[in-house]
Amino acid sequence: MSTNSLIQSYTNTQPNKSWIDDPFELNEAAQGLVPMNHERKLSQYAEELVAYYAKFDGSNYNLILDNLGDNEQNELARLYIEYSNRDLSECIYGDDFTLNGEFTTTLMLMLKNDCLVTRESFAEVTRKNILIYYRQALQEILDDACNTYHCNMMTNQGYFSSIDNDSGDVVWGNF
């Protein structure tokens, strides 16, 4: 029996698998590895941002989207767009859906005079609008990452969390 027929037989018997899942024919060598999904990539990157840039105020970690550099904001937005199945239907307009908004104006200028300056202007307006449109969602992701990072740090230091019966707040201690 040939190697190709064995590989085909193997992939045909695996549930929800295709040859695309194993383009380098790793089969046995790659068992147990799980490809990272877009949601996990996004949350992992947000936690990395928290680890590098968040401020600890004594009880919580805080990270504001606007305090991140352009590269970090761009990557966070890119991962969010991947996570949301690349839905770009309205985000390119930011919060200005008027007929003569900044996006439409720079697009028309670029189409009229296609040069480096108009392309850069269009790209910058598009980037800025995407960040404006997704600002609240991206901030919520950073807030969740701050909470996750704080919980991980406390757990790593040997603390356990519980809910205070009176206030409903999370309380950390060495129980």
User: For residue 25, is pLDDT > 70?
Assistant: no
pLDDT of the residue at 75: 95
Give the model's confidence band at 140: pLDDT under 50 very low, under 70 low, under 90 confident, else very high.
very high
State yes or no: pLDDT of 159 exceeds 80.
Answer: no
Question: How far is 105 from 17, CA to CA, in rounded Å?
Answer: 47
d(CA 84, CA 42) in angstroms, rounded, equals 11
Mean pLDDT for the stretch of residues 78-106: 87
Across 164-174, average pLDDT: 72
Closest by CA to 60, choosing from 138, 155, 151, is 151
Residue 80 has pLDDT above 90, yes or no: yes
Write down the mean pLDDT value for the chain: 81
Q: What is the DSSP letter of 14?
A: S
DSSP symbols for 49-92: HHHHH-EE-SS-EE--GGGS-HHHHHHHHHHHHHHTTT--TTGG
In this prediction, residues 75-84 reach a mean pLDDT of 92
Sign of the alpha-carbon dihedral angle for 53, 56, 57, 61 = positive
Nearest-angstrom CA–CA distance, 96 and 130: 11
Instruction: State the pLDDT at residue 57.
Output: 87
pLDDT at residue 1 is higher than 50: no
In sequence order, what are the residues at sequence separation of 6 or more whose Cβ sits closer than 8 angstroms to the Cβ of residue 75? 45
| CA-to-CA separations, 141 to 37, 109, 137, 157, in angstroms, rounded | 16, 35, 6, 24
Torsion of CA 117, 130, 44, 175, to 10 degrees: 140
Res 136: pLDDT: 95
Residue 64, pLDDT above cutoff 90: yes
Q: What is the DSSP letter of 27?
A: G
Domain ranges (residues) in the chain: 1-35, 38-155
Q: Between these two residues, 138 and 59, which has the higher pLDDT value? A: 138
Local confidence band at 48 (pLDDT 50, 70, 90 cut-offs): very high
User: 124 to each of 4, 107, 130, 137, how far by Cα in Å?
Assistant: 49, 11, 10, 20
Residue 17 has pLDDT above 90, yes or no: no
